[in-house]
Each structure stands twice: as C-alpha cells, then as structure tokens.
Amino acid sequence: MKRDSAHMSARRSAVAAAATDYRVALNQAMQSHQAGDLDTAERLYRDVLERRAGQPDAMHYLGVLCHQQGRSDEGVRLIEAALKITPKHPDAHNNLGNIHKECGRLRDAERSYRKALECGPQHYNAQNNLAVVLEAQERLEEAFEAYAKLLQQAPKFAQGYYLMGMFLRNHAQSREHVEQSVECFRTAYQLNPRNVRALESLGMSLYALHRLEEAAQVYRDWLAREPEHPVPRHMLAACGAAEAPSRAADDYVREVFDAFAESFDEQLLKNLNYRAPQVLAEALGGVLPGVVGALDILDAGCGTGLCAPWLRPYAKQLVGVDLSGGMVDKARARGGYDGLEVAELTAYLQAHPDTYDVVFSADTLVYFGELRDVLDASHAALRPGGWVAFTVEAAEGEDDSVVLSPSGRYQHTRGYVERVLASTGFSHISIRTDTLRKEGGQPVMGWVVLAQRTH
Ligand SMILES: C[S@@+](CC[C@H](N)C(=O)[O-])C[C@H]1O[C@@H](n2cnc3c(N)ncnc32)[C@H](O)[C@@H]1O
C-alpha cells in the first residue's frame, strides 16, 4: 500500500514536470515566433507536440507559422485540428480566416471571422477583418456597417479609422464621403502618430477635394517634424510645392512599398479592379503567338508577384526584380519565379546586357518621370528581337510632357512615350489606351505600350 502511494506520487510529479516542461517550451516557441526566428519556433512547437500530442495552442501557432513560410495548406490543417479540440477559440478562428483571406478564399475567410465573432463578440481584429473581406467581395453596404461597428466597438483603434477612411475615399459616391475620409485620417493619425500612412492618405484626400494647399501644408508640417522622411519630400513635390525629381527616389519607393507589403489587407483592397498585369500580358500575347515556355523574361518591378501567373506560360526563365525587399518577400511566398532580386531597376538592367527576350513592367514606370535611362537600359538588356512591355498613366494632351501628379505618380503623354521609345532605338511601337484600375471610384487611364528591339 505504502509502496503504491510512493509510486503514484512519483508518477504524479513526473506528469507535473512534463506538463511544466511543455509549457516552458511552448512559451519559448511563442517568443521565438514573435521575434521572427521561425526555424527555432517551429522546432519548439513540434517538440511540444511530441511531448503532448494534440496540444491545441502549439497546433494553432504552428499553423500560423506554416502559412508564414508558404505552407498554407498545412497551416489550415493544423488550425482546423486545434479548433476540433478548442472550438470556441476566437483567435484561432481569426487566424484561420487570415490564411484563407491571404490565399484569396474570401468566403471561407468570412465564415471564419464570423465564427471568431460568435465566440468573442468584442474581438475587434476579427471585426476589422470581416469588414475587409466584405469590402473585397464588393459587398459595400455590409462592409460599411462592419467598419461602423468596428469604430463603435473600438473607438481608440487607429487602424479602424484608417480603413474606414480608405473605404470612404475608394468608394466615394459624393464629395461628402471624401470629406468624411479626411476626418477619419486625422483621427487615425491623432490616435497613432506613428501611422504615417494615415498622413499620406490625408494628403491624398485633400488633393481629391482640390484642397491642394492644405495637402501641401500636411506634408510641410510632416517634413518639419521629420526632415529626412522621403514620403513628405516626394509628396510635397507632387503637390507642386517643390521641384519634382526625375524619378521617385529609392528611399521613397522602399518606404512606400515595404509598408504596403506588410499590410496585405490594404493590398487586397487596392487590388480591386487592378488590371494592369492582365491587360499588359494580353497585349504581349498578341505579339508572341505560339511561343510557349521558351523565353527569358524579366518582371521589372515585380512587386508581390501578381504578374507571374500571366508570364509563366511564356517563360523558360522568369526573373523578378524590385527595390522593395518587403514586396520581393511576398513574391517569393506567392511563388512562380525562377529568380528574385532586390535591386534598383535601371541599375539591374544596365548590369544584364543582351539577357532577356521580354522586359515586362506593369505599373512600375509610373514611379519614373524621365523614361530615357530606364528604356535605354531595357533596350540594352534585351536580345535582338526582344520586346519591352509596360504600362504608364496617361497624361492628357497632344504635347510631349511628363507631370508628377498629386497622387505621387508620374503621368506621361503619348507623344512623350513615343518620342523616347523611338530615340532609344525601339521599333514596332504600339501604344493603346486602357483602364488600369480605379481610384476614388474613378477609372485611371493608362498607356499599354509594346516596342521591339530589332537589332
Ligand atoms: C504598383 S507596384 C506594381 C507591382 C507589380 N508589377 C504589379 O503589377 O502588381 C510598383 C512596384 O515598382 C517598384 N519600383 C518602383 N520604382 C522602382 C525602381 N526604381 N527599381 C525597382 N523597383 C521599383 C516598387 O517597389 C513596387 O513594387
């Protein structure tokens, strides 16, 4: 009897020690995960699961981690398994929703966010995400209600005001909506002064309302606080209050697109009606009939990799280049490229003479005012017979000119594009107009351009 109770108590201590061990390992795993050391975190989560099969937190967070590493299907399986054990876990439903959303399965994402809200009605991240996926499905009234509910639930949540401001401006049906967006961006910035995107958006809304002097003042004040910040420097020039550079500075491009890449939600929103990759690829397809899997193609300014699926069928080698490391990371996770490089485009092209059959650039040369250098470098990077294909925003008028518009992007006249292409030695120049995306509810017209290096 005595021996039995000693045995039981030893067993109990061993069980207690194992339980403490797995909790310690789980904590360490979560710390490594938060610090971005994904390999260590994965090893520790798996260690926990070996000691304690089916431990739901370890499965849930390992699922999130798998998705971050591009193994989204495994991530979904793990979180679903965790939810079988703890079905009322709002964070797990929310994270499952995030994976679906980022994989483009908006209906599944919506279902997960609704479940998260059933389990935790005050879960404002889930409410925020629900609004985002409703907007992405163009269910605008429901999305508006969801954003309004979010602001009611979380009146100090800066990001909520920012997203509501974006919603109001992107889907504005009247001037009043744009005016309301101004208030939302001001509040978002007051609540979180580190949210410089709110300031940038504030300037854009003021511009949309033709209150250009007020927009310039926002950037002047910002520059006075942060004299080295590339965004107000660029945007002040875009408002006409400083001299425009010949192309957007490298630090401006990095700042804007690294931030953009971080925020997949907004990316999803902004991609609504974004057609440049498709329109440009279809135009290119018209001059490359029957060429399947045979070409060396550069996706010049590849961003998050949206062009890859359109280019892949033609490519033997598909290489993406972009200045923003954040965008390149997203492109890598999306897949489809044989190589990806973080580099400035003109310099990259100059370093690769006679290398490509196609230089393809969707919505990137809008960050270049003067096109001469980049087109010279494209010509040299192409093999004889190769094609450059790009889109730029259309400036009105018959003259030969470039403007940096208050949106921060350059606009080129057709005459300008034609002259520079011809003077760079390209032939078979084709320039046609198309809608590239919508901004503030209005179509943005662009030039869809093809030209060939013949010798
Ligand atoms: C609007 S995104 C378009 C991305 C992609 N082509 C697409 O259609 O989804 C513009 C991209 O151009 C890149 N970019 C702008 N200026 C650049 C430069 N000088 N060199 C390399 N990349 C540049 C930005 O980092 C950004 O990823």
**Could you list the mean pLDDT of each consecutive 10-residue stretch along the chain, which spans 455 residues?**
57 57 91 93 95 95 93 96 97 97 92 97 94 91 96 93 92 92 96 88 92 94 92 94 95 91 62 84 91 93 94 97 94 91 98 98 97 98 98 93 93 97 96 87 90 94
Dist. CA 244–CA 235, nearest whole Å: 9
Q: Determine if ligand 1 sits within 6 Å of the CB of residue 303.
A: yes
Per-residue model confidence (pLDDT) at position 20: 63
Separation of 303 CA from ligand 1 center, angstroms? 5
Q: Where are the strands (E) in 151-269, listed by range?
A: none
- The DSSP output letter for 395 is P
Q: Determine if ligand 1 sits within 6 Å of the CB of residue 328.
A: no
Separation of 313 CA from ligand 1 center, angstroms? 22
CATH architecture of 270-452: 3-Layer(aba) Sandwich (3.40)
Contacts of 365 (CB under 8 A, 6+ apart): 301, 371, 374, 390, 391, 392, 410
Residues 199 and 222 sit within 8 Å (Cβ to Cβ)? yes
Domain ranges of the chain: 16-153, 162-243, 270-452
Per-residue model confidence (pLDDT) at position 432: 96
Separation of 191 CA from ligand 1 center, angstroms? 31
Domains 162-243 and 270-452 share a fold: no
Residues 242 and 233 sit within 8 Å (Cβ to Cβ)? yes
Q: Whose CA is nearest to atom 27 of ligand 1?
A: 303
Query: 378-407 burial, b if ≥16 CB within 10 A, otherwise e?
Result: bbbbbeeebbbbbbbbbbeeeeeebbbbbb
Per-residue model confidence (pLDDT) at position 5: 62
Q: Whose CA is nearest to atom 13 of ligand 1?
A: 301
Q: Where are the strands (E) in 246-349, listed by range?
A: 295-300, 315-322, 339-342
CATH fold of 16-153: 1.25.40
pTM for this entry: 0.80
Residue written as token pair 């431990």 = 55
CATH architecture of 162-243: Alpha Horseshoe (1.25)
Per-residue model confidence (pLDDT) at position 449: 98
